[in-house]
A and B are shown apart, each in its own frame.
Chain A
Amino acid sequence: MTSLQLFFQQLANGLTLGAIYALIALGYTMIYGVLQLINFAHGEVFMVGAYAALTVVLAPAIHPLLAGLPWWGALLVGGIGAMGCCGWLGLAIERVAYRPIRHAPRLNALITAIGLSFFLQNAVMLLYGATDRQFPSLIPLVRWELGGVTITLMQVVVWTASALLMVALQALVRSTKLGMAMRATAQDLSACALLGIPVDRIIATTFAIGSALAAMGGVLFGLTYGTINFHDGYLTGLKAFTAAVLGGIGNIPGAMVGGLVLGLLEGLGAGYLSSQWKNVFAFVVLVLLLLCRPTGLLGERVAERA
């Protein structure tokens, strides 16, 4: 393996992790965009997404049907099931936990988010047990050699799924009426309300979309690593939040870029420097970047409202 091949191999590894971070980071940034709220329960939504897919795929009513489908059929069923579940969960979170305190001081929402995070973690622990659960391996192990660089089918699925979702989200935000309303709400909530935009519904939809994206992140995470645990949402959620800040919080393309950059940094840092400093490395880069560019890589607005 030459050093160039090694580099591209590490790039592929980093991109896989980065794509998952990006999907989760989108939810953080979208919710921050409309409400200036950091939804710390978002990492748990990601974890619930993985468990939802596991439940759907292994459900006695569905599991036998999947045997007749090709692998991507099962993946589609699991992915859509998880996104559906978490979309509803996102709506419920917004309605129950955040809407009643929308006009309260910001600290209240932050504490609520942390409480919600504990609640979701413990609920999943009670429902599914405290041990690692094996995630069904829906994707067969296929490996291709491209000029000495090994690419697995799993990696291709992760890249494709997240790319498709990001393009779809970008199209939704840029060129639909709903997207326009979301952008307007992000600019000025009260002015939107005055103009007759149903801000409550727009905010709820934002939560649903962000949560569904996190759910897909959870499915891809479960598929890639094969095990899930009720506390997996914590560190991964924290990393995705870092990615959102890295890209410029509130900025949707920023979250995508931030996720990919963070994944690459971790991959290359662990591959070239030392794997024991993997987490440290990512956060050191974040601190350095924020010192030079407080608004993040693509951030337009100053994140002082957090």
Chain B
Amino acid sequence: MFRPQSTVNSPQFWKEVCGGRSTVDGGRRFLLALVACALWMTGCGPREPVVKIGFVAPLTGDQAPQGQDMLHGAELAVEQARGQGPVLPHRFELVALDDQRSPTQAVAAAKKLVADRDVVAVVGHLNSSCTMPASAIYHQARLLQITPVSSNPQISRQGFDTFYRTCATDDLQGPAAALFIATTLNARRVFVLDDMTTYGRGLANEVIKKLAALGVDVIGHEGITQGDKDFMPVLTKIKAINPDALYFAGMFPEGALLLKQRVQVGLAARFVGGDGLFDAALIELAGPEAAEGAYLTTIGSDIRQMPTAQAFLTAYEARFGPVGAYSAYAYEATSLAIWAVRQAGVKDRAAVLAAMKTLKDYQGLFGLQGFDERGDSLIRDIGIFTIRDGRFAFVKTATWD
């Protein structure tokens, strides 16, 4: 960084700026240079005025496949919005940042977006542990945030009016999974594992609460560390306890290893997981044989069965290939943000936020989209999937009470 030691207008300063020979009227020439710079930045060159939508998800690291799927969904929404013409004289632009699934990086990304005056709305993040601290920063900056998939219910209970989410929450997903385990799988003894994140621990607690209410015996609850690879000791311990079902609340990289090592240990319990496992990489990393017969819940119903989503599916597949688990949510969140900007009609954060609050019966991918006073989606479907022949197969839309 250039940091002048001498005062402006002094000959030394001029010398430092240009590194050349100093003249007596150095100060005046410096001013001229400044003016030229300013002219170059504003006047010359066809720089279009832009309005930016921020996007944050893990784009590198083990969760990158899900993050990239989300980015593709967001990109598609912005591309389609551009096709429909500009808002005022502005062009839509997507600013994609990477939080590497780390809360610290998430906060850094949030601060970066807040500092950019062209950003009027943010779509993100993936992990609840990232969305939670970042939401406070967006709230402080009065910046609209729509999370596509962070499902921890506590996030919307902080009372931030800048916060919206397009998926169902874990206080619905957890009970749905518990009901499925108790009634459909008929399990009497269940062991619960989670990844000790805001999402994993929160979801595990919801599942346990409902299981206990249904009279199912939760014979153990333990945490594993994200990024760890060796789960043989804890799986061996679970095998010795011999439960009917093993529930895992966490993400697919650890889920895949659990599925794989479960077979090595010879653990016979049925495997049930949350929406964090819903990614094709789960089956690829675990191997189709090890993944066969596992169940998982999702924070929305099957996108492929939605008549309202067929145009999106065709456009997405033509552009990026198979639709990922979270692609549709990111598309929905980005489209909503664009809708709010269009409604506002000005590049102003407060106006965009005010416009978002007027939203009602928006035609979204999962049906008519709307939000309650906390910012949570009114569409509360939970899907149940199983893995059959190396692919996810839709079982049913779940009930939770």
Residues of A whose CB lies within 8 Å of any CB of B are 1, 6, 9-10, 13-14, 16-17, 125, 130-132, 134, 137, 141, 143, 150, 152, 154, 221, 224-227, 229, 231-232, 235, 266-272, 274-276, 278-279
Contact = CB atoms under 8 A, between A and B. Distances in A.
Given A131-B64, A154-B264, A226-B286, 10 more contacts: A6-B237, A13-B230, A13-B233, A17-B230, A226-B285, A227-B256, A275-B234, A276-B224, A278-B224, A278-B225
Contacts of A13: 230, 232-233, 236
Question: What 5 A-B pairs are tightest by C-beta distance, nearest first?
Answer: A276-B223, A130-B60, A270-B233, A275-B234, A271-B233
Interface residues of B, number: 37
Contacts of A9: 236, 240
Contacts of B286: 226
A232 B134 CA distance: 27
B264 A134 contact: no
Given A9-B236, A271-B237, A227 B60 contact: no
Contact of B281 (A131, A150, A152, A274): A131
Given A130-B64, A131-B65, A275 B224 contact: yes
A18 B261 CA distance: 17
Given A235-B227, A279-B225, A131 B62 contact: yes
A90 to B, nearest CB: 24
B229 interface: yes
A276 B257 contact: no
B38 interface: no
Contacts, number: 101
Interface string B216-239: 000000111101111111101101
B225 A276 contact: yes
Contact of A275 (B60, B231, B265, B287): B231
A131 B281 CA distance: 10
Contacts of B260: 225-226
B284 A134 contact: yes
B267 to A, nearest CB: 10
Nearest to A154: B264
A226 B285 CA distance: 7
Contacts of B225: 276, 278-279
Interface string B250-282: 000100110010011110000000000000010
A150 B265 contact: yes
Nearest to B285: A227
Given A1-B240, A130-B61, A235-B227, A275 B284 contact: no
B196 interface: yes
B240 A6 contact: yes
Contact of A6 (B234, B236, B257): B236
Contacts of B287: 137, 226
B266 A150 contact: yes
B285 to A, nearest CB: 5
A187 to B, nearest CB: 37
Contact of B230 (A143, A154, A225, A231): A225
A273 to B, nearest CB: 10
19 contacts: A6-B237, A17-B230, A132-B281, A132-B285, A134-B285, A150-B265, A150-B266, A224-B230, A226-B286, A227-B253, A227-B256, A231-B227, A235-B227, A266-B233, A271-B234, A271-B237, A274-B223, A275-B224, A276-B225
